[in-house]
């Protein structure tokens, strides 16, 4: 037993000696420079077993105030233009519209992007809505700009001619905020030029004299745009000036696709989702609407 044990120890010693010699030989011939290998780092935690589809729940505010064409809220008026019946639903707010006037302060403010963030802003390019497949709705017609592109049966507005319509026309007395002079209203028809806005200059924002009226008409060949107007030129300098054709088309797109709160919300939702991939799971709900069907599923089945 002692002999076998000693022989085994001697064999181990011999193997250790040979292993050290081989290691020294390998180090002598191995290159001294490091080799850079491709490295791919995981973009998700390693403890996650696999990719999970994104889950998003979209809840749309479709309450009646989303019909309004004024923001922020106001206690006296709802619309910048006389409304058609049932534009968005079977319910209608009172057809309260400020008079079309360049001398009445509230009439001016409602149709100026400075005071009314829903109204047409000449420094913004208004693009048609996006479809689910990222294609675009058509450019709005300048002679028949739809009140609601999803409900074309309710009619449209000719933006290239005078309009004559009836409404409850509001006149706000006094220039200060809060209308200390009271409010008067009257019915009947009014004739007005629809394609117009007011540009704020400076001074008292409740003084109509602080604004400049801009009528978009064929007789005026150039209009002030802005550096963000992509439809008037490729550079900020070119975008500063727009032709009549460019301006009236932009105004028509605003009227059809962005004029009210709900139209603007639809524009934003379409833009946000159009660029997303097909591996996104979306739950949809609305605050004030009956169950609707989406891809064969209704909200009552959830």
Quick check: 145 and 157 in contact, CB under 8 A? yes
Residues near 70 by beta carbon (within 8 Å), at least 6 away in sequence: 77, 78, 79, 80, 110, 116, 118, 119
Pairing of strands 241-243, 222-224: antiparallel
- The confidence score (pLDDT) of residue 56 equals 82
Domain boundaries, the chain: 57-293
What are the C-alpha distances in Å from 85 to residues 150, 155, 215? 15, 9, 27
Give the pLDDT score at 6.
44
3-state DSSP assignment of residue 191: strand
Closest CA to 69 of 84, 60, 82, 80: 80
Q: Going by C-beta distance under 8 Å and a sequence separation of 6 or more, which residues neighbour residue 95?
A: 79, 82, 83, 166, 167, 168
What's the distance, Cα to Cα, between the start and end of the chain in Å? 81
Cα→Cα distances 1→12, 15, 205, Å: 17, 21, 111
DSSP-derived 3-state class of residue 216? coil
pLDDT at 301: 38
The vertex-209 CA angle with 204 and 215, nearest 5°, equals: 125
What pLDDT is recorded for position 243?
Answer: 96
Q: For residue 272, what is the enclosing H or E element?
A: helix 261-274
Q: Where are the alpha helices (DSSP H) in the chain?
A: 2-29, 105-110, 236-239, 244-257, 261-274
Percentages helix, strand, coil for the chain (3-state, rounded to 5) are 25, 20, 55
**Contact predicate 118/264, CB 8 Å:** yes
Note the pTM of the prediction, 2 decimals: 0.77
Query: What integer pLDDT is reported at residue 270 of this predicted model?
Result: 87
Token pair, residue 289, equals 């609407």
φ, ψ at 218 (rounded to 5°): -60, -25
Q: Distance between CA 262 and CA 76 in Å, rounded?
A: 19
Per-residue pLDDT, 231: 94
Q: Which residues contact 8 (CB under 8 A, 6 or more apart)?
A: none
pLDDT of residue 184: 83
Q: Over its length of 302 residues, how does the chain's per-residue pLDDT go in tens digits?
A: 443 334 445 445 554 555 555 454 444 444 444 455 566 666 666 666 556 677 888 877 777 778 888 988 765 678 999 999 999 877 788 899 999 999 998 899 999 999 999 999 999 999 999 988 889 999 999 999 999 999 999 999 999 999 999 999 998 765 555 555 667 889 999 999 999 999 999 999 989 999 999 999 999 999 999 988 999 988 888 889 999 999 999 999 999 999 999 999 999 988 888 878 777 778 777 777 666 665 565 554 33
Predicted confidence at residue 291, as pLDDT, reads 64
Q: DSSP code of 274?
A: H
């Amino acid at each position: 037993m002692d002999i076998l044990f000693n022989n085994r120890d001697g064999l181990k010693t011999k193997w250790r000696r040979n292993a050290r010699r081989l290691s020294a030989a390998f180090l002598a011939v191995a290159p001294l420079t490091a080799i850079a290998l491709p490295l791919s780092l995981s973009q998700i935690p390693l403890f996650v077993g696999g990719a999970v589809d994104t889950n998003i729940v979209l809840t749309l505010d479709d309450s009646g105030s989303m019909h309004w064409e004024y923001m922020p809220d106001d206690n006296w008026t709802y619309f910048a233009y006389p409304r058609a019946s049932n534009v968005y639903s079977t319910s209608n707010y009172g057809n309260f519209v400020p008079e079309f006037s360049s001398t009445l302060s509230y009439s001016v403010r409602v149709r100026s992007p400075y005071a009314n963030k829903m109204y047409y802003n000449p420094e913004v390019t208004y693009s048609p809505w996006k479809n689910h497949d990222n294609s675009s709705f058509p450019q709005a017609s300048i002679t028949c700009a739809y009140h609601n592109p999803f409900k074309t049966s309710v009619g449209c507005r000719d933006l290239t001619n005078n309009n004559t319509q009836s409404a409850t026309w509001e006149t706000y007395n006094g220039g200060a905020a809060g209308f200390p002079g009271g409010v008067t209203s009257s019915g009947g028809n009014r004739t007005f030029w629809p394609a117009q806005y007011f540009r704020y200059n400076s001074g008292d924002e409740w003084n109509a004299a602080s604004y400049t009226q801009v009528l978009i008409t064929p007789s005026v060949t150039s209009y002030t745009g802005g550096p963000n107007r992509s439809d008037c030129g490729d550079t900020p300098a070119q975008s500063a000036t727009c032709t009549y054709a460019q301006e009236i088309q932009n105004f028509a797109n605003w009227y059809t696709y962005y004029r009210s709160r709900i139209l603007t919300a639809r524009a934003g939702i379409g833009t946000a989702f159009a660029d997303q991939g097909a591996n996104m799971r979306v739950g949809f709900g609305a605050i004030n609407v009956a169950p609707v069907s989406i891809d064969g599923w209704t909200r009552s089945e959830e």
